[in-house]
């Protein structure tokens, strides 16, 4: 049974009506660079709209972490499980709405593809996709879905390499 089939089975009860599993991969967690702490009013740091009175909920989302994870991508979120010694999904550790992801970058490192997920909070999460996983399919779907949820960008594009 491949990663997508395993996670579809595990996630079946958690998916809302009409939500479908699109892609899945197993990854090594390579770390997170946390955003700069804002020591003043969130509106001053650009996290919240001063008139709205509170921060955008998407800026408060943290990416789940474990040394090795299995990620299931749906049309609106990423679900994450920690992996056991056998490489099979073990414990559900959280989810990330795609609306909380600002950008996705892809690069190559010594052992394979590296995906850099930039959260709206400013945190940067690095994930190394394991060998024999459908890295291209997962990344293509993730980028397409993140771009579809993002507001139009008036500025110049960013580099593709992390």
pLDDT of 83 over the 70 cut? yes
pLDDT band at 39 (very low <50, low <70, confident <90, very high): very low
The tens digit of pLDDT for each residue in 89-121 reads 999 999 999 999 999 999 887 777 999 999 998
Question: Residue with structure tokens 């299995």?
Answer: 70
pTM: 0.81
- Report, as an integer, the average pLDDT of 47-62: 72
pLDDT at 47: 55
């Amino acid at each position: 049974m491949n990663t997508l089939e395993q996670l579809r089975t595990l996630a079946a009860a958690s998916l809302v009506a009409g939500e479908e599993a699109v892609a899945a991969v197993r990854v090594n967690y390579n770390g997170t660079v946390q955003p700069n702490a804002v020591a003043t009013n969130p509106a001053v740091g650009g996290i919240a709209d001063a008139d709205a009175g509170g921060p955008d909920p998407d800026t408060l989302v943290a990416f789940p972490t474990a040394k090795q994870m299995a990620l299931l991508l749906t049309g609106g979120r990423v679900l994450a499980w920690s992996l056991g010694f056998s490489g099979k999904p073990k414990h559900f550790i959280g989810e990330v709405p795609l609306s909380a992801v600002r950008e996705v970058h892809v690069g190559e490192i010594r052992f394979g593809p590296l995906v850099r997920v930039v959260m709206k909070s400013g945190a940067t999460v690095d994930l190394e996709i394991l060998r024999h996983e459908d890295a291209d399919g997962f990344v293509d779907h993730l980028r397409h879905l993140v771009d579809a949820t993002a507001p139009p960008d008036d500025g110049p594009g960013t580099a593709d390499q992390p």
